[in-house]
Amino acid sequence: MSDNTTDRFLGYLNWLFNPFHGLQTTEVYDLIGTSSLTEHALYLNLGYWRDADTIDEASEELALLVAKRGGMAPGDTVLDCGYGFGDQDILWARNIKPEKIIGLNITKSQVERARMHVADAGLGKSVNLREGSATEMPIENESVDLVVSVESAFHYRTREDFFREAFRVLRPGGRLVTADILPTENSDNLFRRIEQWISWNLVAGKFNIPHENYYLTPSYSNKLSNAGFINIDIASIRNDVYKPLHEYLSVNRTFVGKLHPLAKILAQLTLDRSAESVYCGLDYILSYAEKP
């Protein structure tokens, strides 16, 4: 084992067992590698389970829900921030056919795999996946109709910078849609509040959610408004995400075998606990906003 490999392994080991040690976002997703929760695709989202029976269906349903909420349509230029392996972009290109989809992602290993994925699908002309930051977008002013972020905005340093950049690149009348993770409102019960605190901080620590992004829905709305957005609408869909996902994965654990050995330990420990305990500190929102 080389020195670099040893250092990386020890870093991952520290990440798993040390509650005060986190990883950078790119390190988290390099650890996950090309594994995903899905069985037949490479989606990394948690899924929208209202009318879905499998993780593949739920992951597609979430991508389609985001597209529908944003009014994605033929002729649109879409900017997808944090596109993972590009599965949702392929889905949108095939089913909705926007004129162009541009993607930004900072994890190089995902960028390379996603580009191959798009090329294999024959969609290289309409889907342009780039390596770049959602908080410093290499995108021209007022050149995009729809900005979307599916389960990635909580990583950004900071989400407010992302809102400002999204506002800058959107044309007048453009829309911003996020599927995002926030903390839940604190319970009046002290023991429940402690459980919520543990739930949030474990997730925030392991998956690099900066403290600057720790706030509730009213603050989320205010920050969108401060960035210049109007017609803001934020809905919690947590009941159609966490519990059904947990129930499905507790029975169908095939994805666990695809994970890095250390990530596998964390997944198994999580699935052995109840959904109510694991996710009690996490809200899940679908957010919509418009540029005047």
Give the tens place of pLDDT for each residue, 35-62: 555 677 888 899 999 999 998 999 999 9
- CB–CB of 27/207 below 8 Å? no
Does some domain include residue 169? yes
Max CA distance (Å), the chain: 56
219: CATH:
3.40.50
CA–CA separation, 104 vs 202, rounded Å?
27
Residue 10: pLDDT over 90: no
- The confidence score (pLDDT) of residue 48 equals 97
pLDDT digits (tens, 9 = 90+) for 178-233: 999 999 998 888 888 888 888 888 888 777 789 999 999 999 999 999 999 999 99
CA–CA separation, 23 vs 14, rounded Å?
10
Rg over CA atoms, the chain: 18
Does some domain include residue 40? yes
- The confidence score (pLDDT) of residue 168 equals 98
Does some domain include residue 171? yes
Does some domain include residue 226? yes
- The confidence score (pLDDT) of residue 272 equals 55
Q: Which residue has the higher pLDDT, 249 or 106?
A: 106
The SS3 assignment for 111 reads helix
CA–CA separation, 100 vs 80, rounded Å?
11
Does some domain include residue 167? yes
Residue 71: pLDDT over 90: yes
Burial environment of residue 260 by CB neighbours within 10 A (0 to 12, 13 to 18, 19 or more):
middle
CA–CA separation, 181 vs 216, rounded Å?
10
> Phi/psi at 191 (nearest 5 deg)?
-65, -35
- The confidence score (pLDDT) of residue 138 equals 96
Q: Which residue has the higher pLDDT, 258 or 123?
A: 123
Choice among 37-41, 143-147, 164-168, 243-247 with the minimum mean pLDDT: 37-41
Percent of all residues in the chain with a pLDDT value above 70, rounded to a whole number: 79
Exposure class string for 168-205: b at 16+ Cβ within 10 A, else e? bbbeeebbbbbbbbbbbeeeeeeeeeebbeebbbbbbb
Give residue 204's domain range. 3-72+146-290
Does some domain include residue 282? yes
- What is the arithmetic mean of pLDDT over 244-251? 85
Instruction: List strand residue ranges (DSSP E) for 65-187, in order.
Output: 77-81, 100-105, 127-131, 144-150, 170-183
20-24, Cβ contacts within 8 angstroms, sequence gap of 24 or more: 20/205, 21/205, 22/205, 22/206, 22/208, 23/206, 23/208, 24/208
Percent of all residues in the chain with a pLDDT value above 90, rounded to a whole number: 62
Neighbours of 129 (CB within 10 A): 26
CA–CA separation, 44 vs 280, rounded Å?
21
CA atoms 115, 56, 182, 169: torsion sign: positive
pLDDT digits (tens, 9 = 90+) for 134-162: 999 999 999 999 999 999 999 999 999 99
Residue 77: pLDDT over 70: yes
- The two three-digit tokens of residue 17, written as one number: 């067992």
Q: Kindly list the distances between the CA atom of residue 221 and the CA atoms of 36, 81, 148, 159, 229, in Å, as whole numbers in the listed order.
A: 31, 19, 16, 12, 9
What is the chain's mean pLDDT, rounded? 86
Residue 264: pLDDT over 70: no
Instruction: List strand residue ranges (DSSP E) for 107-238, in order.
Output: 127-131, 144-150, 170-183, 230-236
Give the total number of structural domains in the chain.
1
CA–CA separation, 178 vs 188, rounded Å?
29
Instruction: List strand residue ranges (DSSP E) for the chain, in order.
Output: 77-81, 100-105, 127-131, 144-150, 170-183, 230-236, 282-290
Does some domain include residue 154? yes
Does some domain include residue 79? no
- What is the arithmetic mean of pLDDT over 124-129? 95
